[in-house]
Amino acid sequence: MKIITQHSIIYISSEIQSILTEVLKNFGNRKIFILVDENTRKHCLPAINNINLIKDSEIIEIESGEKNKSIKSVEKVWNELTTKGADRNSLLINLGGGIIGDLGGFVASTFKRGIDFINIPTTLLSQVDASIGGKTGINFLGLKNEIGVFNHPKYVIIDSSFNQTLDKKHIMSGWAEMLKHALIFDEKDWNNLISNDIKQTGFKELNQLIARSVSIKNHFVEKDPFEKNIRKALNFGHTLGHAFESFFMNINKKITHGEAVIHGIICELFLSEKICNFSSKKANEIIPYLLKTYTKLKFNDSDINDIIEYTSHDKKNEGLNISFTLLEDFGQLKIDQFCKKDNITEALNCYRKL
C-alpha cells in the first residue's frame, strides 16, 4: 500500500528491499547515513544492508532506551555526522523504533539547518505513531518530548515483519495507539480492532490493520499539520498518559508508552463522562477490555499530586490550565477541554478504585 500525504510518501509492504531500492534512486549519489541502536543493528540492519545503493553507508549507533533520547545522544550523532563528512545534501535513514525516529528526525532537522531523512520504523508503536506526522524531539529534564520541531520525513517505509523481533510488551505498546486511533475515529473501527487477537495476527493481516491505523492518524495530521486544532484529537489519553510515563520513569519503574496511554485513556474516559457526557454504558464496555488487556498501574493517593504536576508540563496547556482532548462519543471529539485539579484528582481516584 502507498499513501501519499502532503509531506511524505508512506509505504506499507512486505517488500522492503525493493521499495527502499526504488526510493533511494530519487536521492541520486548522496552520502547516506543510517541511525540504529544496538538492537536494530543486530536484528533489522541485515534486512537492508545488502542493497547496493546503501552498502557503503555510514552506520551511526546510539544506545537504546528512553534515557538515551537525550541531548547527549543528539550531540553524539551530530558529531559523527560531522566527522564522517555529512553535508547539506546527505540523507539520514532512521532504522528503529520511536526513539530512533524522534531523535533521528530531530538531528536531521537541525544538522546544517536540515537534511532529508527517511523513517523505517521497526516497532509496532513507531509504525502506527511516531514515524508519521512530523513530530521529532527528545526528552529534557525528565520531561518527555520537551524539545523538538515539526519536520516530516521524505518517506516512511513500514514492514510489519520487523515486529517478529519484538517481545509481547512492545507489541502491546503499539496496539495501544491503534486502539486509541479507533476510539477517536469510529465505533466500527473499534469493534473491528478488538475482534482481532493481536498475538495471533499474521504479518499480512497486521499490515492491513497498520494501514488502517496510519490512515486514521494521517486524516488528522493532513487537516492540521502543526497541531493547532483538530490534530489534538490524537492526544486523547496522552495528557495523563505522558504524566504516568514521566512519573514512573522518575521513580525507576519504567512503563511503555503504550501502557501509559492506555491508562491515560481510562482516566480520560472518566473525565469524558463527567465533562462531555460520554456514555457510561460505552465506558463500562471499553474499560474492562483495556484492563483485561493491560495490567493496571499501581500508585498511591500521595502520588496523585505528583502525577498532576507532570500534566502541568504538557505542551498543550495554556498558562495554569490543564488541557485535555475528551470524547462525547466514538469519533466525536472535544479538544481544548481545560480541567480543574479537582476533576483530575477524581478521575485518578476512580482509576485507583477499579
The grid cell for 115 is 537534511
Among 72-86, 138-152, 169-183, 210-224, where is mean pLDDT lowest? 138-152
Do 244 and 134 lie in a common domain? no
Q: Are residues 181 and 265 in the same domain?
A: yes
CATH number at residue 333: 1.20.1090.10
Residue 109 has pLDDT above 70, yes or no: yes
- Crossing angle of helices 304-311 and 341-353, in 10° steps, is 130
| pLDDT value at residue 160 | 85
Question: Is 203 a residue whose pLDDT tops 80?
Answer: no
For residues 231 and 223, give the distance between their C-alpha atoms in angstroms, rounded to a whole number.
7
The reply to whether 23 and 113 lie within a common domain is: yes
**Least confident span in 84-93, 191-200, 337-346:** 191-200
**What is the distance between the alpha carbons of residues 79 and 107, in angstroms, rounded to a whole number?**
11
pLDDT at 113: 96
Domain closes at, from 112, 134, 166? 166
Domain boundary among 102, 136, 166: 166
Q: Say yes or no: 203 and 245 in one domain.
A: yes
What's residue 200's pLDDT? 75
Least confident of 62-76, 227-241, 303-317, 322-336: 303-317
φ/ψ of residue 22, rounded to 5 = -65, -40
Q: State whether 126 and 263 are in the same domain.
A: no
Q: Same domain for 149 and 189? A: no
DSSP β-bridge partners for residue 324: 337
Inter-residue contact 95 to 45 (CB < 8 Å)? yes
Verify that 202 and 251 share a domain, yes or no. Answer: yes
**What is the DSSP code string of 126-174?**
IIIIITSSSB--EEETTEEEEE--B---SEEEE-GGGGGGS-HHHHHHH
Same domain, yes or no: 257 and 232: yes
Could you tell me if 191 and 119 lie in one domain?
Answer: no
Rg (CA), the chain: 20
| 188 and 144 both lie in a single domain | no
User: Quick one: pLDDT at residue 199?
Assistant: 73
Specify whether 29 is located in the same domain as 162.
yes
Taking residues 19-23, report their average pLDDT.
95
Q: What is the pLDDT of residues 232-274, one digit of tens each?
A: 999 999 999 999 998 998 898 989 999 999 999 999 999 999 9
Same domain? For 128 and 239 the reply is no
Residue 154 predicted with pLDDT over 70: yes
pLDDT tens track for 115-145: 999 999 999 999 999 899 999 999 999 887 8
Q: Read off the pLDDT band of 316 (50, 70, 90).
A: low
C-alpha cell at 334: 472535544
Entry field: residues in the chain: 354
For residue 33, the number of C-alpha atoms closer than 13 Å in the C-beta half-sphere is 27
Percentage of the chain exceeding pLDDT 90? 81
CATH code at position 85:
3.40.50.1970
Give 293-312 pLDDT, tens digit per residue: 999 999 999 999 999 999 98
Q: What is the pLDDT of residues 34-60, one digit of tens each?
A: 999 999 999 999 999 989 999 889 999
Q: What's residue 319's pLDDT?
A: 55
Q: Which of 179, 145, 333 is nearest to 262 (CA)?
A: 179
Percent of the chain at pLDDT > 70 equals 97
Three-state SS for 113?
helix
Q: Residue 100 is placed in which grid cell?
A: 530512533
Which comes out higher in pLDDT, residue 205 or 92?
Answer: 92
Evaluate if residue 214 carries a pLDDT over 90: yes
- pLDDT, residue 314, reads 64
Domain span holding position 150: 2-166
Question: For the chain, what is the domain count?
Answer: 2
Q: Model-level pTM? A: 0.91
Structural domain ending residue among the three candidates 132, 166, 200: 166
